[in-house]
Chain A
Amino acid sequence: MINEMETEPETFRDEASALRRDGFRLMDMFADEPWGGSRTVNALFRKGAEVVRLWYSSGDVAADISDLIPSALPFERRMSEMSGMSFGIELDPIVYRRKGRGHPLQKASYDRSGEERIPIPHNMTGGDDVFEIPVGPVHAGIIEPGHFRFSVAGEPVIELNPSLGYTHRGIEKLMEVPVTRDMSRLVERISGDTCVANCIAYSEIMDSGSCIPRRAACIRTLIAEMERLYNHIGAVAGVCTDTAFNVPSAIGCGLQEKVMRMNAGLTRHRQLMNCVVPGGVRRDINDQRLRELDDFLIHLKFEVDELEGIMMDSPALLDRMETTGTLTREKAELIGAVGPIARASGIESDVRKDIPYERYGELGMSLVTASRGDVHARTAVRFGEISESISLVHQCIEWMEPGETRIPVRPRDGFHCSAVEAPRGELVHSAIVRDGHIWRYSVRDPSFVNWFGMCHAVPGNVVPDFPLINKSFGLSYSGNDL
């Protein structure tokens, strides 16, 4: 599935730009340290079902490709502060944001005491009558921490600078353990509302080379769609909350709660944690529960349609949503946007269709896209995907067959990579296994690339529209910060 392409530092730029010309999109880029002092730079590209790993060995100085592929810049920033790579250009911190005697992902241990936080520069935009509004990291709502600087000239925002990294917990370092240790409990907590997708991506790496039982794959597919359901319903309800449209907001939150209670009935956890494990799933779901779920989803479909009717027929809400926070197709392609955000800008990309994993290849689903890339388009795409998810769960229940739910697995040495369509978009996990030990584990959350989409979508809009645009993107902080 993965085409390996080893290259040299001198030819890396040419190879990468050739891939880009062929229509490949950069999925992930990370540095590895096979032995002391030596480094390899790995870049993963995808076009449809084709995944290419382009890699080369280098010293501390690596080839900068951000002028050829702008979406490489965040990855280069992360590599420079996490692994100590130098790209010959000055790179801002992105996740760790601390300066000490070493770098968190380097293999040699170093003294972390005395590390200092790198201050966020003031007034980066500058100019007469340009004001800067700092927001966060502690926000007004019940959400995760992150800092934003809006530069405003009058009402409209002219620039948005997010500084994240407040929830950095060192997950990539914690993942470096022997492959026999089951790390699925930690992987689930990369981002608590995307735990199934993260855990499926991790399990696909651990399962590589063995075929998991069909019933287990079916249960994984089912709960992955249940996760998408509650996330998407929460996201559309959030759009109503942030426009003070209280009736549909209350209806949406109620529907989300109903789905989460159903989740608790299926897996004994409202966010579906503690269910997926390498080699299958931990607990079987009994047929009685599946029948209940089938009936519940028929009612849910009616209620979601009713909610969609209220929202999409309201002139007041449409006025807020349409032409607000537009991410054009060109900009979405430039930053390499993924998931519902990319689909709302007209990019037809969905891992479930491109590289079907688990049982998605056997299930019928259609891709929901929109073209305008504004808040309305993103909400419409989410509503379309809610219907698709309900249909997929119905199909899973229909095709569920009796059998085992878990087999013992052990991954081989080498490079593994898996891509999963999380509720927020394409999620990529990659692992380099050496001598039965996870040597380097890289996670690329969909939010890591989509955050830059928001930086392009907000300027030109008034400050009060920022919460609305933010909610329509529905990005994760903890997945981004790791």
Chain B
Amino acid sequence: MFGICLSNMASKGRNTESSEEMMGRRDSMPMAVGDCRGCGRCADNCPTGAIAIDDGWRVDLGKCIFCMDCAMVCANGAIEEVPAPDYALTREELVVGPGSDPASLERPLDEMTRRMFGRSIALRELDTGSCNACEVDLNAMSNQFYDMHRFGIKVVASPRHADGLIVTGPMVNNMREAAERTYEAVPSPKIVIASGTCAISGGMFVKGDVASKGISPVLEPNLYIPGCPPAPDKVIRALVKSLGLPH
């Protein structure tokens, strides 16, 4: 074991990605860029109803699960993958159409929040009924590839030690009380991050009568990170860019 540690220390080929590499990447999203005739087949086949065509082609990234079923059913091949924004500050901004610039959504949080949490942030993860895919990827944030601690991001054990909550899952009935009490336990000032499609809109589960339309009926998110689940580097990028964490 010590041999492995020593050889790892000596080797240059470390697994950890440089922050430039991570910050420069972008996930993709579906977008009607080509010859869209407005037939509506993509909207009918979308499992979460994220696409609307009434008023020009629009996709709601808060509902999209990025399965790209829309691109597969499109008769004209008009839907392609384009770079997606890492986060948005309001729910409305997540509805995007052709020609929108992903970087324009990624505005920094207000100055007060950045002054408070812009050097480091301690978060408590709150699962309000997610399928565990979000947790798998949030756990991966601390592995040697992403190493979120170097950006000053920490996940702490108790809400009382936290600056805010990173919330996953569609806020099911059974978790409502626990979510409210966890939020109350976080000392003010605090921020709430809705991470993943379920937390933003309820995702696949909103058709039932057990899940809500995301966490917003109970908690008011300050930051929306779309994705099903959002990749670990996407969450890190969203936090670094919105809070101005050192990188």
B-contacting residues of A (Cβ < 8 Å)?
Answer: 97-98, 104, 112, 115, 117, 137-138, 140-145, 165-171, 173-174, 185-186, 189-193, 195, 234, 247-248, 250-251, 253-254, 256-257, 260-261, 268, 270-271, 273-274, 282, 306, 310, 314, 476-478
Is there contact, CB below 8 Å, between B67 and A193?
A: no
A270 and B135 CA atoms in complex are apart in Å by 13
Q: Which residues of A contact B137 (CB under 8 A)?
A: 270-271
The residues of B with any CB-CB pair to A shorter than 8 Å are 1, 4-5, 15, 47, 65-69, 72, 124-140, 142-145, 155, 157-159, 169-170, 172-175, 177-178, 182, 203-205, 207-211, 228-229, 231
Measured in the bound complex, the distance between the Cα atoms of B132 and A270 in whole Å is: 13
Q: Tell me, rounded to whole Å, the shortest Cβ–Cβ distance linking B125 to chain A.
A: 5
B208 touches A170 (CB 8 A): yes
A186–B204 CB distance below 8 A: yes
| Bound: A140/B124 CA distance, A | 8
Most buried by A among B1, B65, B175, B177: B1
Contact across chains for B207 and A174 when beta carbons are under 8 A apart: yes
- Are the CB atoms of A250 and B47 closer together than 8 Å? no
Contact indicator B178/A166 (Cβ below 8 Å): yes
- Which of B67, B135, B172 is the one whose CB lies under 8 Å from A169? B172
- Whether B127 pairs with A145 at a CB distance below 8 angstroms is yes
The answer to whether A186 touches B209, judged by C-beta atoms less than 8 angstroms apart, is: no
Chain B residues within 8 Å of A191, by CB:
131-132
B41 to chain A minimum Cβ distance, whole angstroms, is: 14
CA distance A125 to B243 in the complex (A): 48
Q: Are A167 and B175 in contact (CB under 8 A)?
A: yes
Flag if A167 contacts B182 (CB, 8 Å): no
Taking a contact as CB atoms under 8 Å apart, the answer to whether A186 and B133 are in contact is no
Q: What is the CA–CA distance of A22 and B209 in the complex, to the nearest angstrom?
A: 42
Knowing A167-B127, A185-B65, say if A145 contacts B178 (CB, 8 Å): yes
Q: Is the pair A257, B143 in contact by a Cβ cutoff of 8 Å?
A: yes
Q: Which residues of the other chain, A, contact B140 by a CB distance below 8 angstroms?
A: 253, 256-257, 260
Q: Chain B: which residue is nearest A164 at the CB level?
A: B174
Q: Is the CB of B175 within 8 A of A137?
A: yes
Given contacts A140-B158, A189-B204, A193-B136, contact A165 B174 (CB under 8 A): yes
User: A477 with B132: in contact, given A167-B169, A170-B211 (CB under 8 Å)?
Assistant: yes
A168:B130 contact, CB within 8 angstroms: no
Interchain CA distance A295-B218 in the complex, whole Å: 49
Q: Given A168-B172, A168-B210, A271-B229, are A254 and B127 also a contact pair (CB < 8 Å)?
A: no
CA distance A232 to B92 in the complex (A): 40
**Shortest Cβ distance from A205 into chain B, in angstroms?**
18
* A104 contact set on B, CB distance < 8 A: 210
Across the two chains, which residue of chain A brings its CB closest to B210?
A170
In the complex, what distance in Å separates the CA atom of A189 from the CA atom of B158? 27
Closest to B205 in A: A169
Q: Which residues of A contact B170 (CB under 8 A)?
A: 169
- Minimum CB distance partner of A190 in chain B: B131
What's the least CB distance linking B93 to chain A, in Å?
25
